[in-house]
């Protein structure tokens, strides 16, 4: 018998009030670590050669435009009698051009992407979820009441999805069912991608797949190679156990590989598997993910071919990764383990919100020098220097990230984090709308959530040429990762967008 279901025990950046301490993020922008500012400027200086060459080229072009035929004749006569100088200058020019071409990073373009939308039969409503949980017989009254309160305050709507095996009573979390879920979501997203991007699977040279909690043998990446008969020399990678921020990590890995391998395409598949990762115990720190996580998957097509710029949607501008795993508390704050009765789940630490805030502070402090306008950087850096030199109690200037980004895709890990980021970064409701509505419509889809959010912005017709998008995600370990994209044209929603049949109903009002 199949009726309803829940979500998987996977990392989520949310915690209950009654678990102590506070659900609020720390006011991380009021205490800035100078070494992370230095790191951001270090990234900026790596492009110093390019920054210096641009003014030089402009000066040469201006001078050349003012040169008349008589001047060119005199220059030619002068060069005829200075052959050694000509040779030296030519060698220097060729050497400099070669160094520049060899060291400059190759641009990475996003041609298209697709997000999987499950069939309506897999939707689960609150009442179904609670009735299903009760009928399993695994949860006591206290746990059932706890899950009900989490659902009511989660920000999830009534149309989220769980896999077929979790609709059954009793649930059937078998290896075969988990494979079926993985195939359904990955192949569904990839079928849409190949259809809309007009690219053949044989053209793919790099494949990166990330899924935190389900890593079978053969791997998920091998399942894709087998399904689409990808070529034998494809460079495939399978990332596991990296939490909800693994999607940005996978993009970063694909970017690095595209710097090495010329004229090729890379596909990044981001998903999570629920079937074998639902917690059937009564430890409250392990029950929250059951209520938040839902089915989802994204497939992203990247290219390093210069000719693809004309048809690309976005260009990858920056990726900044922060890893706090060296700290024991951060390492264990999202931890998969067995409870006292031997049931496996992911335990969320009471200090999760504070750890997330620290990782976020580090990440945005590093990112700031790369993306903020000069005016914001000067105000920020000058107040920081005054504070350090004179040891005053002056508060650091809080940069306005709205001047650097037009759109924000904050990982839909939980309502509390979206609320706190809106407050701490001084964002407007429209800036977090995509995150809130994605959480409401699809739930926490782990590493793929930032792509459902980008699809929402496109479906609303808000993505214009030159707009910058900030994708930011949190994950176990503990990690906070950011990706920055620039729109290369007015971006229309792709066919079979996950919002295709419901965008007119959004945004919706979410009860407090």
Give dist(CA 281, CA 11) in Å, integer. Answer: 17
Residue for token pair 């791997």: 219
Give dist(CA 454, CA 470) in Å, integer. Answer: 10
Whether residue 14 contacts residue 291, with contact meaning beta carbons closer than 8 Å, is answered with no
Question: Is the omega angle on the peptide bond into residue 170 within 30 degrees of 0, that is, cis?
Answer: yes
Give dist(CA 177, CA 263) in Å, integer. Answer: 38
DSSP E strands: which ranges in 288-333?
297-303, 314-323
φ/ψ bin of 500: left (φ > 0), alpha (ψ from -120 to 50), beta (otherwise): alpha
Q: What is the CA radius of gyration of the chain?
A: 26
Give dist(CA 365, CA 384) in Å, integer. Answer: 12
φ/ψ bin of 421: left (φ > 0), alpha (ψ from -120 to 50), beta (otherwise): alpha
Tokens of 257: 């590989």
Cβ-based neighbours of 114, under 8 Å, separated by 6 or more: 189, 190, 192, 193, 196, 298, 299, 494, 496
* Three-state secondary structure readout of 249-289: HHHHHHHHHHHHCCCCEEEEEEECCCCCCCCCCCCHHHHHH
Any idea which residues carry the catalytic annotation? 244, 323, 407, 411, 440, 444
B/e letters for 365-395, b = 16+ CB within 10 Å, e = fewer, are bbbbbbbbeeebbebbbebbeebeeeeeeee
């Amino acid at each position: 018998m199949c009726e309803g279901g829940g979500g998987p025990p996977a990392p989520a950046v949310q915690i209950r009030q009654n678990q102590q301490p506070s659900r609020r993020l720390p006011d991380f922008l009021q205490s800035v670590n100078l070494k992370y500012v230095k790191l951001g400027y270090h990234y900026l200086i790596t492009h110093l050669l390019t920054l210096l060459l641009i003014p030089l080229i402009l000066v040469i072009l201006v001078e050349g435009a003012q040169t008349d035929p008589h001047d060119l004749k005199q220059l030619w006569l002068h060069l005829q009698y200075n052959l050694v100088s000509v040779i030296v200058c030519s060698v220097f020019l060729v050497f400099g051009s070669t160094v520049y071409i060899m060291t400059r990073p190759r641009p990475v373009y996003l041609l298209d992407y697709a997000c999987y939308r499950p069939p309506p039969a897999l939707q689960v409503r609150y009442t179904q979820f609670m009735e299903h949980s009760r009928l399993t017989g695994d949860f006591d009254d206290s746990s059932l009441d706890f899950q009900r309160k989490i659902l009511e305050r989660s920000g999830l709507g009534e149309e989220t999805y769980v896999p077929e095996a979790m609709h059954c009573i009793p649930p059937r979390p078998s290896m075969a069912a988990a494979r079926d879920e993985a195939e359904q979501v990955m192949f569904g997203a990839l079928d849409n991608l190949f259809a809309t991007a007009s690219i053949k699977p044989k053209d793919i040279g790099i494949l990166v797949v990330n899924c935190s909690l389900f890593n079978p043998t053969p791997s998920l990446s091998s399942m894709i190679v087998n399904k689409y008969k990808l070529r034998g020399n494809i460079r495939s990678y399978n990332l596991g156990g990296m939490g909800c921020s693994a999607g940005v990590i996978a993009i970063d890995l694909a970017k690095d590989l595209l710097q090495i391998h010329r004229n090729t395409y890379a596909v990044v598949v981001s998903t999570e598997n629920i079937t074998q990762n639902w917690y059937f115990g009564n430890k409250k720190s392990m029950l929250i993910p059951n209520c938040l996580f839902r089915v989802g998957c994204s497939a992203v097509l990247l290219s390093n071919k210069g000719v693809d710029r004309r048809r690309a949607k976005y260009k990858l501008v920056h990726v900044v990764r922060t890893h706090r795993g060296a700290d024991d508390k951060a390492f264990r704050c999202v931890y998969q383990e067995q409870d006292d009765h031997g049931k496996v789940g992911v335990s969320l630490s009471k200090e999760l919100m504070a750890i997330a805030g620290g990782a976020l502070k580090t990440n945005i402090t590093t990112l700031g020098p790369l993306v903020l306008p000069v005016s914001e950087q000067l105000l920020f850096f000058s107040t920081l220097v005054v504070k350090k030199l004179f040891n005053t109690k002056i508060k650091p200037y809080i940069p306005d990230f709205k001047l650097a980004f037009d759109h924000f895709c904050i990982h839909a890990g939980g309502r509390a984090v979206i609320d706190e980021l809106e407050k701490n970064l001084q964002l407007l409701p429209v800036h977090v709308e995509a995150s809130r509505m994605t959480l409401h419509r699809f739930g926490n889809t782990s590493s793929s959530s930032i792509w459902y959010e980008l699809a929402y912005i496109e479906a609303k017709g808000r993505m214009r040429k030159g707009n910058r998008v900030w994708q930011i995600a949190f994950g176990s370990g503990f990690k906070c990762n950011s990706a920055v994209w620039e729109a290369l044209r007015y971006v229309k929603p792709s066919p079979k967008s996950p919002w295709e049949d419901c965008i007119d109903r959004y945004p919706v009002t979410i009860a407090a």
